[in-house]
């Protein structure tokens, strides 16, 4: 640890690990450490090197242009302070790409960062389960084990932790160089799988099933064993679903929808259908430049009220779709800048898939999650995406399929 403190690079590694840790603990402290991370970089700044790296790096430029559209939106946004707050949240779109383009991590330090992330996932799952058991012994209320109830002591939303856990499963299964023992691997994967089911995010559960199909098909060569393992896994998930509150939510799929009003019992699916429908109708009224990042939520919730969706108005719900939220805030022009980031990222991920499959998996899971969640509207989503997207993009020399190039 001491030898890390003696160099600027070493301090950057320590700060990156602290960013990951506090991403789980407290987002305000995490933001403060990101500031220290940037300051440590600026102290040893070589302006010429940074300028050359920035100008010639398409990945950095696409991220920077995305932030530029937020700045331009201040011209027509009425809620100026809200617009500034959105820009502040999106600053990591240039901080991580710029710094990590110049400061390339050693392979062992990248693995250390992944181990820190996995350890944080294991810690929060363990604490949550222990506290849920303790609460259950006092009240006999089984709901303490499900949804956001199991995360009552944190500021995590269940969807974000589910996404983190799914990424951690792929890190464990896909990177042999992490040197995790077989028993420890099994324990972690089993715990994370159980926790994803308890958190009951439908999109993440579907992605987890697809992920296990992908993992089994790639890891197990015996066709009979593949069929057996997949059958056992699907049977377990089905049995679990039928015995938990997930069944009740799935049983009400596409119900209680009448002209944008919520009637009777609601669930996440029918709420999203209403939100997507109303958000799309609102987009058509200002499709090119949107309503501004500081204003779009106010405009959207007022539109909810006008159309009788009082639940959405009272709870200030966004559209729960990152595509719709981006178009609402920045218009189609601004949304194209986000597509440019994803295009450049996916282009590299596909090109390097043979030695960097985890990058393609990370992007695929994230983009699919964008369908049902506004993942780039909260710090936990923004920091997670910009950090790991930059780390994986700029560390192509690390073979993350079990070998080092």
How far is residue 405's CA from residue 403's CA, in Å, rounded to a whole number? 6
How far is residue 93's CA from residue 340's CA, in Å, rounded to a whole number? 13
Instruction: Identify the residue whose tokens are 């695929």.
Output: 364
Lowest-pLDDT choice from 63-77, 164-178, 253-267: 253-267
Query: Which residue in 268, 249, 244, 242 sits closest to 145, CA to CA?
Result: 244
373: three-class secondary structure by DSSP: coil
Tokens read off for 394: 């700029």
Tokens read off for 273: 């259908």
What Rg, from alpha-carbon coordinates, does the chain have?
A: 22
328-357 mean pLDDT? 91
pTM for the full model? 0.86
Whether residue 239 has pLDDT greater than 70: no
Instruction: Identify the residue whose tokens are 């049983």.
Output: 251
242: three-class secondary structure by DSSP: helix
H or E element at residue 209 = helix 202-219
pLDDT at 93: 96
Tokens read off for 332: 């189609």
Tokens read off for 284: 């058509």
Instruction: Identify the residue whose tokens are 């060569």.
Output: 221
Lowest-pLDDT choice from 40-44, 53-57, 341-345: 53-57
Q: What are φ and ψ of residue 342, in 5° steps?
A: -65, -35
Dump pLDDT digits (tens) for 30-48.
Answer: 999 999 999 988 887 666 6
Contact 205, 147 (CB under 8 A): no
Contact 37, 385 (CB under 8 A): no
Query: Which residue in 65, 18, 19, 11 sits closest to 42, CA to CA?
Result: 11
Lowest-pLDDT choice from 13-17, 34-38, 175-179, 389-393: 175-179
How far is residue 323's CA from residue 202's CA, in Å, rounded to a whole number? 19
Tokens read off for 179: 């040197």
């Amino acid at each position: 640890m001491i030898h890390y403190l003696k160099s600027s690079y070493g301090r950057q590694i320590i700060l990156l690990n602290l960013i990951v840790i506090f991403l789980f603990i407290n987002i305000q402290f995490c933001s403060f450490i990101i500031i220290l991370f940037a300051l440590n970089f600026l102290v040893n700044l070589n302006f010429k090197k940074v300028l050359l790296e920035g100008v010639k790096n398409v990945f950095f430029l696409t991220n920077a242009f995305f932030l530029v559209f937020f700045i331009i939106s201040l011209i027509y946004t009425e809620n100026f302070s809200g617009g500034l707050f959105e820009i502040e949240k999106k600053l990591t779109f240039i901080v991580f790409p710029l710094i990590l383009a110049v400061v390339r991590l050693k392979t062992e330090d990248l693995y250390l960062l992944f181990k820190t992330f996995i350890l944080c996932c294991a810690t929060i799952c363990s604490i949550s389960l222990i506290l849920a058991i303790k609460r259950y012994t006092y009240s006999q209320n089984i709901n303490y084990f499900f949804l956001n109830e199991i995360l009552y002591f944190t500021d995590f939303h269940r969807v974000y932790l589910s996404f983190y856990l799914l990424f951690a499963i792929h890190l464990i299964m896909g990177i042999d160089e992490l040197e995790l023992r077989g028993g420890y691997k099994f324990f972690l994967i089993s715990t994370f799988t159980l926790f994803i089911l308890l958190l009951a995010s439908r999109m993440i559960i579907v992605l987890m099933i697809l992920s296990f199909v992908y993992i089994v098909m790639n890891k197990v060569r015996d066709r009979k064993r593949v069929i057996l393992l997949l059958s056992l896994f699907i049977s377990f998930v089905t049995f679990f679903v039928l015995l938990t509150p997930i069944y009740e939510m799935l049983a009400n799929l596409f119900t209680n929808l009448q002209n944008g009003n919520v009637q009777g019992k609601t669930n996440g699916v029918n709420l999203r259908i209403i939100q997507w429908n109303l958000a799309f109708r609102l987009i058509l009224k200002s499709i090119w430049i949107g309503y501004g990042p500081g204003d779009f939520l106010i405009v959207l919730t007022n539109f909810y009220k006008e159309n009788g969706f009082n639940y959405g108005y009272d709870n200030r719900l966004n559209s729960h779709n990152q595509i719709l939220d981006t178009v609402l805030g920045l218009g189609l022009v601004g949304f194209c800048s986000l597509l440019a980031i994803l295009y450049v990222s996916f282009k590299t991920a596909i090109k390097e898939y043979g030695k960097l499959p985890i990058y393609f998996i990370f992007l695929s899971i994230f983009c699919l999650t964008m369908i049902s969640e506004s993942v780039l509207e909260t710090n936990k989503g923004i920091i997670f995406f910009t950090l790991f997207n930059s780390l994986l993009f700029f560390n192509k020399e690390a073979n993350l399929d079990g070998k080092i190039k």
